[in-house]
Amino acid sequence: MNPEVKNPTSIDDNLSVYMKGAPERILSRCSRILVEGVEVEFTEELRKEVNEANSSFGKLGERVLAFARYRLPVDKYPKGNYEFNVSTWKEWGLNAKQSAGDYAGIKGSFPMHDMCLVGVVSLNDPPRPMVDLSVNKCRDAGIKVIMVTGDQPPTAAAIAEKVNIIKQPKKTFNYLHEELGMSRQAAWEQSTGVVVHGDLLAEKHLNEEKLDDIDPEKGRYLLDWISKKEVVFARTTPSQKLLIVDAC
């Protein structure tokens, strides 16, 4: 990309906010995108193009990061004369569905929404040598290997296939339902594996919070997932990892 930015104000006069992270998190905060050095509207067509690129990189087993920025207006954020306050950011910057205008009047805040997507970068981080052989040895010994990772689902699935955790990628619930268009029930019944997004795990867990601990249906969804022969959990948090271990 051409790094030149067409801005009536000198770049040296502007402070900027920069953000990097998981594409699905960053893209949700962007309303503009950098195209040939110019910030333009982040249309649905452009979003689709970026999401397809992210998915393509992920299916290759590559880790993907998205980068965004917000050029702060000099009149409100002058260098050295604005007191930024990150201690209260959860009150104004956490909800990805907000707009920067929703909290523009809060003292110490700064835009974490309506940002400009600069681009996505893929990183090749291959599995360590011999992991695939180790997984096979575990299988031969009757040990079931479940993968729990912070990677996004396409990346997690691709890596799991490389290390023999998923041996039948076209028989996972995700492939049967999302790629072949099977109904959820039919795909589940015919699948031998599943790739679960941490957000879905969080949603299911939240819905069961009011159930009594002795209720046999509490945690049933998690037991159903880990009952599959080949299981991968993607985009998981530390607390979700504990849930999975407890279920096992």
Mean per-residue pLDDT of the chain:
91
Angstrom distance (rounded) from CA 171 to CA 192: 6
Please, what sign has the CA dihedral across residues 132, 128, 145, 151? negative
Give residue 210's pLDDT.
81
Give residue 81's pLDDT.
87
Question: pLDDT tier at 5 (50, 70, 90 boundaries)?
Answer: very low
Rounded to two decimals, the pTM is: 0.78
Give residue 11's pLDDT.
56
* pLDDT of 1 strictly over 80: no
Give residue 9's pLDDT.
46
Question: pLDDT tier at 209 (50, 70, 90 boundaries)?
Answer: confident
Question: What is the set of domains in the chain, with CATH numbers?
Answer: 11-123 (3.40.1110.10), 131-247 (no CATH)
Q: State mean pLDDT over 176-188.
A: 95
Angstrom distance (rounded) from CA 153 to CA 174: 10
Question: pLDDT tier at 10 (50, 70, 90 boundaries)?
Answer: low
Give residue 218's pLDDT.
80
Angstrom distance (rounded) from CA 133 to CA 111: 48
Question: pLDDT tier at 2 (50, 70, 90 boundaries)?
Answer: very low
- How are beta strands 230-234 and 146-148 bridged, if at all? parallel
Name, in order, each residue with C-beta under 8 angstroms of 125's C-beta and a sequence gap of 6 or more: 62, 63
Contact 93, 109 (CB under 8 A): yes
Of the candidate ranges 12-21, 58-67, 121-130, 214-223, the one whose mean pLDDT is the lowest: 214-223
Give residue 8's pLDDT.
44
* pLDDT of 73 strictly over 70: yes
